[in-house]
Structure 1
């Protein structure tokens, strides 16, 4: 008999308060979350019946899928659930025949930058003043006012 809890990843179509609470941990703008959600494929990860995390994927352009928002509940962090969501995004990128998977995070989000690189992402570019131009309230992380977005990409391995 296995002691590992039942972990499932599935799509969801209704953005309820529980999903929203998790998404707001990654993005403080409910308006921006709602806008992204209407154009996304939304995934949730559950441990048993408990919602443990969410991820919103959007088609960034003709050759890329983007993780527009991803969040794992604090009680479930550092258990591999975020990596499982990233793996699902990678699978979708390959299934759709796209060239890359993209994600953006704050330049002051040191934990997220480390996490994405551990998952195989490489830094591509900096979008200067991304957060300054899009958010009315300043966002402060790690004692630093967040201004710039770091864009990272993962490229599927192509057989030669």
Structure 2
């Protein structure tokens, strides 16, 4: 992992939609949050392999809006590295809570967040049916509700 470079996307750089689309269904959905978010990419020395976007919901709560790793790097701990980096950034900037939302059909994602110290805090009913123009399926089930998970950064 020593060759990895973690960098913040600045206003003059291109938004990495190809990476963001690994975790979100449409550019329109990404555009609803991306311009008010901090975007970071992880580069392996050759290419960008992962992305995360964080949005401040308040002066105490930072939300992970998007986190994605390219397929060839999945199941190698990269996602957990991104979560650890997000926690570090959030603490450094005075946030006390880190939140994330994912589909109620995203069983693997929910397990991943719980493994990284998040606990279920709530449900946003009909989030995916109300915010996307077409039905989205995951694990053979239609995505409807968003599961909200939170991590207390004072721990």
Query: Do these two structures clear the TM 0.5 threshold for a shared fold by scoring above it?
Result: yes
- For residues 35 and 147 of structure 1, the distance between their equivalents in structure 2, rounded to whole angstroms, comes to 19
Match of 1:102 among 99, 102, 105: 99
- For residues 135 and 154 of structure 1, the distance between their equivalents in structure 2, rounded to whole angstroms, comes to 27
Q: How does 1:44-63 map to 2 (within 5 A)?
A: 44-63=41-60
Gap runs ≥5 in structure 2: none
Q: TM-score, normalised to structure 1's length?
A: 0.90
Deviations 1:43-87 (Å, cap 9, x if unpaired)? 001112211100001101231001011110001111111111111
- For residues 21 and 74 of structure 1, the distance between their equivalents in structure 2, rounded to whole angstroms, comes to 12
1:88 Cα offset (Å): 1.2
Aligned to 2:77: 80
1:119 Cα offset (Å): 0.6
Gap runs ≥5 in structure 1: none
**Displacement over 3 Å in runs of 4+:** none
Aligned to 1:151: 148
1:15 Cα offset (Å): 3.2
Aligned to 1:130: 127
Aligned to 2:25: 28
CA RMSD of the aligned region, Å?
1.3
Larger Rg: 1
